[in-house]
Structure 1
Amino acid sequence: MAAPPNLPPPDELLKRANEILEELEKGPWPSHVRELRKTRYPLHIYGVGLVARKTPWGPGAVKVEFVNTGVLSRWSRPWVPNGGEETHFRIFHTPGKFWKTDFVRQITKISRELGVGLIEIVGQTGAFVLNLTKDKAEEMVDALRSIGTDVGGSGDAIRALNACVGPALCEFALYDTLKWYAEFHKDKRVNDAIATPNFPYKFKIKFSGCPMDCARANRADLGLIGVWEGAPEVDQELLRRKIEAGEVDPKELAARCPSGAITWDGKELKIDGAKCKKSMECIRRAFPAIKPGRKRKVAVVIGGGVKGRFGPKLGWFVGYLDPEDHQKAIDLAFKLIEPWDKEAQPKYRLGDYIMQVGIENFVKKAGIELEGMPPLAKMGDEVPYAVLSKEERESYLKLVEAIKT
């Protein structure tokens, strides 16, 4: 990457970087910069990136003996004065990120003695990241394995699984995301695919307990989202009390329903189950007067992703599983992987491959048969882009055709 234009001389660049970092430490609130200063992380490189308004990091590689995946390295760009490097492991997580106190003490000790004293657990991917020093990498791997975890989940492999906290803490959870996460990890095929890169690109599996999708399962290669059949349940008496207390506005509930499934006649609120899109907007606003229906399912979406050859997209819905069908879900993951692994070009996500061969052909190739699966001919009607609706795409296509003629 070329140096950003109009960068000041190295001494001035470092001075301005330090000024920005000092500014980020001010105030009574917690400061990430203040915490980073307690570690051996190369903070000045981060500061230089803030001045340049461009990432100061370039990709690197570090080989650790007996480790096939999970090691990530970044090297500072040539225009960064007093440059350096940063290396980290992605480590196996526990379901819902629940840690025992003893594990926290052990991992903290490993980080301080063998790493740089920095642990990251709230990143975009949901991964558990442990920063390290290269000369201690192999010793750190042995230490991690001795406390019951391991390195994995990077590169062209199944990435670290991600699940919401599910029924442990959330009243909205419609299936046991933690159990499904654990069952996936028990399967040797899953662990082998996490530990050893063999695929065209990364493959993400995420578990969200309800349509609010806290684990961002709709953006995964395989997303599993708790839903229900039909309309939400309405406790009319409790809802009436909430309305009288001013806690709920029934007209607003009806106006905010994205599918127009809610009607209010002044006395009773009704929800048309055939129209309900499971947005949970009404449930969030009126819970527990409005709750999810009792017949629970796990919706399966495939091919989502933020980055890819064809741009960001949400997953295609391909059917439902029962809340106890975790083994069927594991088998489904490898049905999806098989044709993609055999035929996809390098660095094509599952969704890119589906775009290339067509959703109908892919479903046939993978042998997908699920309850509630939409008709194949209908699946191809709507490409689930995250940024443009079907109407917007058609408008742009018409504009392009008009320009061409």
Structure 2
Amino acid sequence: MSAPANLPPKEELLNRAEEILKQLEGGPWPSHVSELRKTRYPLHVYGVGLVARKSPWGPAAVKVEFLNTGVLSRWARDWVPGGGSEVHFRVFHTPGKFLRTDFLRKITKISRELGVGLIELVGQTGALVLNLTPETAEAMVDALREIGTDVGGSGDAIRALNACVGPALCEFALYDTLKWYAEFYKDKRVNDNIVTPSYPYKFKVKFSGCPLDCARAQRGDIGFIGVWEGAPEVDQELLGKKIEAGEVDPEKLAANCPSGAITWDKEKKELRIDGTRCKKSMHCIRAAFPAIKPGKKRKVAVVVGGGSKGRFGPKLGWFIGYLEPDQVKDAIDLTFKVIGPWEAEAQPKYRLGDYIMHLGLDKFIEKAGIKLEGMPVSTAKMPDEVPYAVLPKEVRERFLSFAQQLKGRV
């Protein structure tokens, strides 16, 4: 990347960078700049980037012996005075992001002695990231392995898995996300494909215990989401008490149901939920729990092809069927069925969802040999349908309806 136009001389550039950094330390709120000053992070590079209004970092590579993944590095561009480098290690984290205090003390010690004294906890995936310098990379790998963890989870491979807190803390958990996470990590195939990048692009596996989707499983290449069959359970007596106490407004509850599945009978003072129309948004459950709870017949919905980035832009996963809460081994096998055709045929830097968009969902399911309970009915072979359409007819009709609503407004 070329130097931005009209940059001041190097000494003035550094002075202006320091001025901006000091401004970010002002005010009554905590400042990330003040915290970064306590570390050995190359803060001047960050400041210069703010002055230039352009990224001061360029891509780089660091060779770490016997390590194929988990290392990210970048170097200051030529026009940044003083230069600088930044290397990241992504460290394995525990299911549900539970971290023991003794483990945190050990990680902090490693960061201070072998890193720059900076630890990042990434909110989206829960990844634990250590910043270091290239000279200490191999020593840090040894230190991490000594305390029972390792580097891993970047590059064109299976990334570090992500699970919500599940039954450990959440009353809404419909299957044991922490057990599924642990069983996936115990499988040699999963570990082999975390530590050795060999895919067209990254692949993310996520576990959410309920449709609230705290692990963002809808945005994973394959996601497992706890659901239930039919309508939520309603305890009419307990709900009545909540209504009398003013805790729940039944008419508002019905009005806010996205699928119109809820009706309120004023005379009988009874709330009804049509299970055939319920879309599992869980709005009613959050508003009236435990008077309204998920149904007892639990399932794990499987979605594929989600992602916030890709050749065709951000997308949510496609639903392809259900597993039972005890079918974790089948879920691992299914994951590699899904990976198979994508790994063999996808273009470089195609996420799974991009490949599915290119191929068509029906043909992808056929190629992967997927057979699940509750699979969506194929529309590609209907008389009025295009064989192997990129989007099923139902989805295309929804887009068309939305476009008609916008017609004349834009």
TM-score, L = length of structure 2: 0.91
Would the alpha carbon gap of residues 346 and 105 (structure 1) be closer, same or farther in structure 2, given more than 3 Å must change?
Answer: same
3-state SS of 1:377 partner: coil
Decide which moves more: 36-45 or 342-351.
Answer: 36-45
Give 1:374's aligned residue. Answer: 376
Would the alpha carbon gap of residues 212 and 48 (structure 1) be closer, same or farther in structure 2, given more than 3 Å must change?
Answer: farther
Measure, in 1, the Cα distance between the counterparts of 2:80 and 2:287: 50
Q: CA deviation at 1:391?
A: 3.7
1:336 aligns with 2:338: yes
- Residue deviations 1:359-401 (CA, integer Å, cap 9, x gap): 11100111111111111227723569xxxx72477559999xx
The number of aligned residues is 396
3-state SS of 1:107 partner: helix
Measure, in 2, the Cα distance between the counterparts of 1:5 and 1:301: 47
Alignment map for 1:337-356 (pairs within 5 Å): 337-356=339-358
Q: CA deviation at 1:33?
A: 2.1
Decide which moves more: 243-252 or 355-364.
Answer: 243-252
Q: CA deviation at 1:283?
A: 1.2
Measure, in 1, the Cα distance between the counterparts of 2:20 and 2:234: 53
Q: CA deviation at 1:104?
A: 1.3
1:48 aligns with 2:48: yes
1:199 aligns with 2:208: no
Give 2:150's aligned residue. Answer: 150
Decide which moves more: 297-306 or 229-238.
Answer: 229-238
Would the alpha carbon gap of residues 47 and 392 (structure 1) be closer, same or farther in structure 2, given more than 3 Å must change?
Answer: farther
Q: Which amino acid aligns with 2:371?
A: E
Give 1:283's aligned residue. Answer: 285
Give 1:98's aligned residue. Answer: 98
Give 2:298's aligned residue. Answer: 296
Alpha-carbon contact 2:93-2:126 (below 8 Å) kept: no
Structure 1 spans left out of the alignment, 5+ residues: 400-405
Alignment map for 1:266-277 (pairs within 5 Å): 266=266, 267-277=269-279
Alignment map for 1:2-17 (pairs within 5 Å): 2-4=2-4, 7-17=7-17
- Residue deviations 1:244-280 (CA, integer Å, cap 9, x gap): 2222211211111111111112211111111111111
Measure, in 2, the Cα distance between the counterparts of 1:398 and 1:61: 50
Selected match of 2:365 from 359, 363, 366: 363
Q: CA deviation at 1:330?
A: 0.5
Q: Which amino acid aligns with 1:176?
A: D
Measure, in 2, the Cα distance between the counterparts of 1:87 and 1:383: 43
TM-score, L = length of structure 1: 0.92
Identity percentage over the alignment? 76
Measure, in 2, the Cα distance between the counterparts of 1:16 and 1:372: 61
Q: Which amino acid aligns with 1:341?
A: E
- Residue deviations 1:208-233 (CA, integer Å, cap 9, x gap): 11111111110010011111111111
Measure, in 1, the Cα distance between the counterparts of 2:132 and 2:340: 35
Measure, in 2, the Cα distance between the counterparts of 1:21 and 1:210: 43
Would the alpha carbon gap of residues 359 and 34 (structure 1) be closer, same or farther in structure 2, given more than 3 Å must change?
Answer: same
3-state SS of 1:99 partner: coil
Q: Which amino acid aligns with 1:67?
A: L
Measure, in 2, the Cα distance between the counterparts of 1:233 and 1:5: 64
Selected match of 1:307 from 303, 306, 309: 309
Measure, in 2, the Cα distance between the counterparts of 1:392 and 1:16: 53
Q: CA deviation at 1:67?
A: 0.2
Would the alpha carbon gap of residues 282 and 41 (structure 1) be closer, same or farther in structure 2, given more than 3 Å must change?
Answer: same
Give 1:228's aligned residue. Answer: 228
Decide which moves more: 118-127 or 174-183.
Answer: 118-127
Q: CA deviation at 1:38?
A: 1.3
Measure, in 2, the Cα distance between the counterparts of 1:96 and 1:380: 35
Give 1:185's aligned residue. Answer: 185
Give 1:83's aligned residue. Answer: 83
Decide which moves more: 303-312 or 70-79.
Answer: 70-79
Measure, in 1, the Cα distance between the counterparts of 2:9 and 2:168: 54
3-state SS of 1:206 partner: strand
Measure, in 2, the Cα distance between the counterparts of 1:19 and 1:235: 61
1:390 aligns with 2:399: yes
- Residue deviations 1:19-42 (CA, integer Å, cap 9, x gap): 333233334443322222111111
3-state SS of 2:26 partner: coil
Measure, in 2, the Cα distance between the counterparts of 1:329 and 1:163: 14
Would the alpha carbon gap of residues 189 and 396 (structure 1) be closer, same or farther in structure 2, given more than 3 Å must change?
Answer: farther
Give 2:116's aligned residue. Answer: 116
Give 1:403's aligned residue. Answer: none
